[in-house]
Structure formats: structure tokens, C-alpha cells
């Protein structure tokens, strides 16, 4: 899927645990975007990161959610103290420069909260 | 922000041409129109992008009238494998992703 790798593909957590979702962008891409998708709905933007910088986090819940894209390694979306409402598919996309369309998407991580 | 409106669902048959129209009345001068396709359990895949008139690639055509307030994705001779959700997006090529809005898309079902 255009080289964006997400893992794990499926993640099950109990309420109160932490979830860590990883995204390795396409080779040569330094811009990463995270989206959340609920069943039967479109993707909702969460956060946009460049290497070591958060550019736009206007779609990210203020509490429990954080994201990073370190100089080395994948981008991480972290959800602390998960609740049932966090159950969703989380997609990562990458692009070679700011705001460029099209974005290249991974196949997502499906998070299930028990 | 340019919001888009698409039909919720469409049905067609193998071998037919399918046209999905998207309304974007508030499109801005710098906005491009981009279409994505999404299969179940997969991420969206880019199909086609355009600014005005007509754009064609190996999988689809995109028709954009002069006022740019709508666009039509045309899929020639569809097959069962074209069953998917199709999203129309409108946004500035240089804008942050937060200004790109995925609507609920059009669920296209192709029958034998």
C-alpha cells in the first residue's frame, strides 16, 4: 500500500491500558498524518507531524492522546487510559512535503477496547 | 473550509460506466479536487486529482465544470473489484491536512 507501514494491524486493550500505534512513512517522506475512522464514517484528521515537530494537532483530543515523530524510527500515536470510545481504525498517511496531496496511506491499526 | 456532498450509495453492474458526482459549492480558488478509493480493512488509495476541466488517467476520469462547484468521477466499465467507498476531497495543495475533510463517501456496489 504505497509503502506506508503500520503496526500492529490489530490491537486489543482493556479499559485503562495504554495503546501504542506505530507508523513508518513511505521512503523519502518526512510528513506524517494520523486519522481516525469509526465504522461507516469517513476519516477524521487527528494530527500532522514533521520529523521531531508537531505541525497541527487540532484534531487530537486534548487528553490521553499524544503523537510523536522522532528523528529516528517510526511515528507513534499513543493513547493512555483507553476507553471503549477509542475503539476505531487509526490510519497513518505520509507525504514528501507539507500538505501535499495525494497522501499515501497505510492499512491502519484496528484498536479494540474490551 | 470547503465541504463536499456525495451520494451515500450507488449500485451498478459489471461492464457499466459509473459516474459519482460531488458537490463543493464553497470551493476556494486554490483548492484542488482529489478522489480516493477505500476497500474494507484497507487505507484510502489515491485515484485522481484535478483543478479544472477534465483529467484522465489509467483508472478514471474526472470532470470539473467551469464554476468548479461540483466534480464527477467517472469509472469506465466497472468490475466487481471496484466495489468500495469513494471519497471526494477538496483542499489547498499547500494547506495543513486539517483543512482536508473526508466526508462519509459514496459506497459503490457492483453486481454481476
Q: Is the pLDDT of residue B93 over 80?
A: no
Confidence tier at A1 by pLDDT (50, 70, 90): very low
Q: Whole-angstrom Cα distance, residue B99 to residue B73? A: 22
| A24, B15, B68 from A33: Cα distances, Å | 11, 36, 27
Is the pLDDT at B83 greater than 50, yes or no? yes
CA dist., res. A17 & res. B8, Å (int): 36
> By the CB < 8 Å criterion, does B94 face chain A?
yes
- The better pLDDT of the pair A40, A68 is held by A68
Q: Per-residue pLDDT averaged across B7-33, rounded?
A: 94
Share of chain A above pLDDT 70, in %: 95
Number of Cβ within 10 Å of residue B53's Cβ equals 11
CB of B29 within 8 Å of a chain A CB? The answer is no
Q: How distant, in Å, are the alpha carbons of A1, A46, A68, A94, B38 from that of A73? A: 19, 20, 10, 14, 27
Chain segment A57-89, per-residue pLDDT in tens: 999 999 999 999 999 999 999 999 999 999 999
Q: Is the pLDDT of residue B111 over 50?
A: yes
Give CA–CA dist A76/A22, Å, rounded: 5
Q: Which residues of A touch B9 (CB under 8 A)?
A: none
Report the DSSP beta bridge partners of residue A49. Answer: A32, A54
Distance set, CA A1 to CA A6, A68, A101, B40, B104 (Å):
10, 22, 16, 13, 22
Amino acid at each position: 500500500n504505497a509503502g506506508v507501514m503500520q503496526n500492529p494491524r490489530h490491537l486489543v486493550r482493556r479499559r485503562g491500558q495504554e495503546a501504542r500505534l506505530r507508523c513508518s512513512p513511505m521512503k523519502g517522506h518526512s510528513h506524517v498524518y494520523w486519522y481516525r475512522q469509526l465504522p461507516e464514517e469517513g476519516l477524521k484528521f487527528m494530527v500532522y507531524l514533521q520529523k521531531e515537530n508537531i505541525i497541527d494537532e487540532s484534531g487530537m483530543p486534548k487528553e490521553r492522546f499524544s503523537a510523536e515523530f522522532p528523528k529516528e524510527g517510526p511515528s507513534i500515536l499513543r493513547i493512555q487510559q483507553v476507553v471503549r470510545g477509542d475503539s476505531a481504525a487509526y490510519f497513518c498517511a505520509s507525504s514528501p512535503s507539507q500538505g501535499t496531496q495525494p497522501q499515501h496511506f497505510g492499512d491502519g491499526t484496528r484498536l479494540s477496547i474490551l | 473550509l470547503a465541504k463536499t456532498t456525495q451520494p451515500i450509495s450507488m449500485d451498478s453492474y459489471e461492464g457499466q460506466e459509473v459516474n459519482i458526482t460531488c458537490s463543493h459549492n464553497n470551493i476556494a480558488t486554490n483548492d484542488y479536487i482529489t478522489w480516493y478509493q477505500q476497500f474494507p480493512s484497507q487505507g484510502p488509495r489515491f485515484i485522481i486529482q484535478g483543478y479544472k476541466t477534465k483529467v484522465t488517467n489509467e483508472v478514471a476520469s474526472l470532470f470539473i465544470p467551469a464554476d468548479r462547484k461540483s466534480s464527477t468521477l467517472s469509472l469506465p466499465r466497472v468490475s466487481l473489484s471496484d466495489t468500495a467507498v469513494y471519497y471526494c476531497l477538496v483542499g489547498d495543495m499547500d494547506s495543513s491536512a486539517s483543512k482536508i475533510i473526508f466526508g462519509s463517501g459514496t459506497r459503490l456496489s457492483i453486481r454481476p
